Amino acid sequence: MDKGVITTLKSSKKDKKITVKINGKIDRLSNSITHKTIELIQQKFIWDSGFKIEHDIQVPIACGFGTSAACALGTSLGLSHLFNLPLNYNQAAEIAHNSEVILGTGLGDLIAETSGGIVLRIKEGPPGFGKLNHIITEPLYVIAHTKGDIDTSSIIQNPVHQKTINLTGEGMLKSLITDPSPSKFMSLSRQFAERTSLMNKEVKEMVDILDDETLGASMAMLGNTAFALSKNPDSSIENSIVGKIDFCGSRFMEI
Cβ burial, residue 216 (10 Å; 0-12/13-18/19+): buried
pTM of the predicted structure, to 2 decimals: 0.93
Q: Are 17 and 50 in contact (CB under 8 A)?
A: yes
Inter-CA distances, 183 with 117, 199, 209, 213, Å: 14, 19, 16, 13
Topology classification of domain 137-244:
Alpha-Beta Plaits (3.30.70)
Q: How far apart are CA 18 and CA 108, in angstroms?
A: 28
DSSP for 206-223, written as a single string:
HHHHHHHHSSEEEE-TTS
Q: Residue 255: pLDDT above 70?
A: no
CB 142 within 8 A of CB 243: yes
**Distance of alpha carbon 88 from alpha carbon 76, whole angstroms:** 11
Per residue in 194-233, pLDDT tens?
999 999 999 999 999 999 999 999 999 989 999 999 999 9
pLDDT in tens, 101-155: 999 998 889 999 999 999 999 999 999 999 999 999 999 999 999 999 988 888 8
Give dist(CA 76, CA 156) in Å, integer.
23
pLDDT tens-place string over residues 36-78? 999 999 999 999 899 999 999 999 999 999 999 999 999 999 9
Kindly give the interhelix angle for 33-42 and 67-82, rounded to the nearest 10 degrees: 30
Beta bridge partners of residue 244, listed in sequence order: 141
According to DSSP, residue 149 is labeled -
pLDDT of residue 28: 87
Q: What gap in Å lies between CA 143 and CA 240, rounded to an integer?
A: 6
3-state secondary structure of 43: coil
What residue ranges do the domains of the chain occupy?
Answer: 5-113, 137-244
Could you count the other beta carbons within 10 Å of the beta carbon of residue 138? 7
Min mean pLDDT across 130-134, 149-153, 183-187, 247-251 is at: 149-153
* CATH architecture type of domain 5-113: 2-Layer Sandwich (3.30)
Q: Which residues pair with 216 in a beta bridge?
A: 229
**24: closest CA among 56, 50, 52?**
56
Return the bridge partners of 24, or none: none
